[in-house]
Amino acid sequence: MSFKDKLERLRAQPGAARESSANPERGDVLAALRRKMAEILDQPPPAPRPPADPSRTALPFTREATASGMLHRRRVVLPRSFHVGRVPVDAAFSAAPELLALLALDVSLGACRTPRALFLDTETTGLGSGGGVWAFLVGMAAFDAEGRLEVEQLLLQSPADEPALVERVAQRVAAADFVVSYNGKTFDFPLLATRAVMCRLPPLPVRPHLDLLHIARRLHRERLGACRLVSLESEVLGFVRGPDIEGGEIPARYAHFLRTGDEEALASVVEHNAWDVASMAALVGLYGEPFDLLHPTDLLGMARTLKRAGALTEAERAADTALDRGAGPAALRVRGSIAKARGERARALADFEAFSAEASDPAVRLELAKLYEHFLKLPSRALEMLEQGTGESPEAVARRRSRLTRKAERGRS
């Protein structure tokens, strides 16, 4: 029963007449309200919008019919000269996968071919990954046969077409050697996997995943703090987007679009997504050959990461480069720890001593105490470091002091 039918039925109820006669003032108000509602309901419906071009929308997307629904797709090929800041996006084409694997601490990436990477980013209706959150815009990019980066974006103009979008993403993932994202391991990819389940589609193909957020935190967090992608663009790539939409506004823009069909509300969201994908390609290009462009402090983060990965020669190169560029005592500390890991105790001792002459760090004094005791056989020097503070527990300090004192006394006797 329509709202208008319900109103007519209400008018016909005898109780309504009795209520009006018992309370004339209230009856007048109800009668006025009913007349107003009737006027509204009797108005003709708004004129329908003219049909849209079946192959194109107001946004730069084309419509393609598939067996699973309508696919709204945008494709842009970036020229080889296209830069994000000072880094060309096509530098990712020749980035060294072995170095990327070391920085990501993921050996599976070392066997991947960077020309077959799939860069992926989503814009969603919320921050969760449950069944009520959609990826309404998916940006993907990969290199074509000529080494140019081709950006493909998929827009969900109607929830009914979601299977077509998810199927297209699955096709692109299946054709790739590995996936590159920014926080995609914990957000974008699990969300897309959930949507595949909700659409009753096969699971997404499994591929190695290079999450650039993890590398960014290891290399840049000491200098930049929170590693937002926009911060890396300005502080690492040397690029400022200009006017851009805030991430928190994006779900509301899509909700407005679904209510009104106002495609212009999504224009800035589409451009935001395209820049995210292009910036990821530039970062891969930078991380694949980072020694010339990284800030000295970031090189130290790189040296620590490579040491953790066991790539001590590359780690030492990064520390040396950082020291040459003015990283200061911190570079000596990092280089000393790398020398120690390589078993080069004399070099470690020299770097730790040089560091201690300029800065104070209990952990370095502990390393010096160990080297003085076991390498140089100088327990008295080790005791000096101990008395200045080595950051150990009182029990450990007492044991070390007792042992070093006995050794020092034997050496004097």
Q: Are 108 and 244 in contact (CB under 8 A)?
A: no
**H/E element, 215:** helix 212-224
Q: Tens-of-pLDDT digits for all 413 residues of the chain?
A: 343 343 355 445 544 444 444 455 556 766 676 666 666 555 554 434 333 444 445 788 999 999 999 999 999 999 988 999 999 999 999 999 999 999 999 999 999 999 999 999 999 998 765 567 899 999 999 999 999 999 999 999 999 999 999 999 999 999 999 999 999 999 999 999 999 999 999 999 999 999 999 999 999 999 999 899 999 999 999 999 878 888 889 999 999 999 998 999 999 999 999 999 999 999 999 999 899 899 999 999 999 999 999 999 999 999 999 999 999 999 999 999 999 999 999 999 999 999 999 999 999 999 999 999 999 999 999 999 999 999 999 999 999 999 999 999 887 76
Write down the pLDDT at residue 206: 95
Partners of residue 137 on adjacent β-strands: 123, 155
The tokens describing 169, both together, are 């993403």
CA end-to-end distance (rounded Å), the chain: 108
How far is residue 54 from each of residues 136, 267, 293, measured CA to CA in Å? 20, 19, 47
Q: Are 84 and 239 in contact (CB under 8 A)?
A: yes
Q: Are 60 and 265 in contact (CB under 8 A)?
A: no
CA 285 to chain centre: 16
The tokens describing 346, both together, are 């004399």
Write down the pLDDT at residue 183: 95
Domains in the chain, start-ordered, CATH in brackets?
A: 3-41 (no CATH), 62-288 (3.30.420.10), 296-412 (1.25.40.10)
85: left (phi over 0), alpha (psi -120 to 50) or beta: left
Write down the pLDDT at residue 10: 40
Largest CA distance in the chain: 121
Write down the pLDDT at residue 42: 57
User: CA gyration radius for the chain?
Assistant: 32
How far is residue 165 from each of residues 138, 159, 183, 216, measured CA to CA in Å? 8, 10, 21, 30
Global pTM reads 0.82
Give the span between the Cα atoms of 104 and 243, in whole angstroms. Answer: 32
Give the span between the Cα atoms of 169 and 130, in whole angstroms. Answer: 19
Write down the pLDDT at residue 23: 54
Say how many C-beta atoms besides its own lie within 10 A of residue 396's C-beta. 12
What lies within 8 Å, CB to CB, of 146 at 6+ separation is 80
Write down the pLDDT at residue 54: 41
